[in-house]
Structure 1
Amino acid sequence: MTTFRWITEPLPAGITVRQVYGFCFDSTGRVLLREDGGRYGLPGGRPEAGEDALATLSRECEEESQITIADPLYLGYQEVTEDGQPPYAQLRYAARITGFHPRHEDPDTGRTYGRLLTPLHKAPALLDWGIDGLLQAASAVHAARTLGLVPTSVRKDTWHN
């Protein structure tokens, strides 16, 4: 059985990082989801030898979704435990999208993924990650505010009844 636990603290020493993913925001505050056969995910993937987390995220964003990013902010990690094995980490970041580039195949899979820009509040349902996905999205909201991509408050005169 595999268990997942969202943790917003620094990564402890000794835990293996197997994946790095990003909530990548456009200039209007929408988050990019990678679409593959009707399923959605965040851009990201496995670190290559000698690569740190930020290099992994940047490379995977370019390879999978043909975007460039800046200003990555660490959100936390998902601790994954599989059938009595030592836990490993899937890191999560938020970042600003600085460029969209022509579509091409991912060199690892040979597939060209779809790109969906969606309001962040819709992402958890599309990702279908349950409570942990909601918690990660909540962390991403705070990061997007820090990046200046979503308002820090909503004026009353902008509410709709």
Structure 2
Amino acid sequence: MPKFSWHTCPVPEGLPVRQVYGFLFVPDGRVLLRVDGSKHTLPGGRPEPGEVEYRDILRRESMEEVTVDIDEPHYLGYQCVDDGIAPYAQVRMAAVISLVHPPAPDPDSGRTYRRLLVHPGKVGDLLAWGETGYLQATAAAEAAVAVFHLPSDGLPETGDL
């Protein structure tokens, strides 16, 4: 069973980054989650050959999976995954959505994902990633207020984008 740990420092040199995911906020302070069946997750995915900048990976994946443009992302940290073979990092970032496009199929899967907006306080529950998920969601909610100056009070609970 893999072990997960959350770190707010830069990814150590030599630890491969296999995924980049983003907590994407709308201006009212809610977070966009990608919905696939009954599973909720963050938009994001694997770097493609030649991609090294986390922000570029997140921008591409955000457009492919949930068809949104984002402003400059803010690095939150990384989740270390130790699968007993070779540990790797999953980077987490936060960004504000700047433009919403009509839903379209993901070029990788061919599926059109539902886009759900949720209160930041519900993200940890919906992701169901355990303690590290709650730590990540908290870091994202704090960045939304401190970095992006988004509201934290009086937010609607949920809704489709």
What count of residue pairs does the alignment treat as equivalent?
152
Looking at structure 1, the residues matched to 54 and 76 of structure 2 have their Cα atoms a distance apart, in angstroms, of: 12
Answering whether residue 151 of structure 2 is matched by residue 150 of structure 1, we say: yes
Question: TM-score, normalised on structure 1?
Answer: 0.91
Indicate the residue corresponding to 1:72 in structure 2. 73
1:1-161 map, 5 Å: 1-51=1-51, 52-82=53-83, 84-145=84-145, 146-151=147-152
- The answer to whether the Cα contact below 8 Å between 2:22 and 2:95 also exists between their aligned partners in 1 is yes
What's the CA shift for 1:149? Answer: 1.0
Percentage of pairs with the same residue: 52
Looking at structure 1, the residues matched to 28 and 22 of structure 2 have their Cα atoms a distance apart, in angstroms, of: 17
- The answer to whether the Cα contact below 8 Å between 2:55 and 2:72 also exists between their aligned partners in 1 is no
Looking at structure 2, the residues matched to 14 and 72 of structure 1 have their Cα atoms a distance apart, in angstroms, of: 23
Looking at structure 2, the residues matched to 105 and 5 of structure 1 have their Cα atoms a distance apart, in angstroms, of: 32
Question: TM-score, normalised on structure 2?
Answer: 0.91
Tell me the amino acid that sits aligned with residue 64 of structure 1: E
Q: CA RMSD in A?
A: 1.2
- The answer to whether the Cα contact below 8 Å between 2:123 and 2:137 also exists between their aligned partners in 1 is yes
SS in 1 for 2:110: coil
Looking at structure 2, the residues matched to 61 and 28 of structure 1 have their Cα atoms a distance apart, in angstroms, of: 19
Per-residue deviation, residues 51-85 of structure 1 (Å, max 9, x unmatched): 12111100000000000001211000000011x21
Greater CA drift, 92-101 or 48-57: 48-57
- The answer to whether the Cα contact below 8 Å between 2:33 and 2:116 also exists between their aligned partners in 1 is yes
Per-residue deviation, residues 77-134 of structure 1 (Å, max 9, x unmatched): 000011x212100000000100110111000001000000011001111111111111
What's the CA shift for 1:135? Answer: 0.3
Looking at structure 2, the residues matched to 101 and 23 of structure 1 have their Cα atoms a distance apart, in angstroms, of: 18
Looking at structure 2, the residues matched to 89 and 150 of structure 1 have their Cα atoms a distance apart, in angstroms, of: 30
Tell me the amino acid that sits aligned with residue 119 of structure 2: P
Q: Which has the larger radius of gyration?
A: 1
- The answer to whether the Cα contact below 8 Å between 1:71 and 1:147 also exists between their aligned partners in 2 is no
Looking at structure 1, the residues matched to 69 and 97 of structure 2 have their Cα atoms a distance apart, in angstroms, of: 6
Greater CA drift, 85-94 or 141-150: 141-150
Unpaired runs of at least 5, structure 1: none
- The answer to whether the Cα contact below 8 Å between 1:15 and 1:88 also exists between their aligned partners in 2 is yes
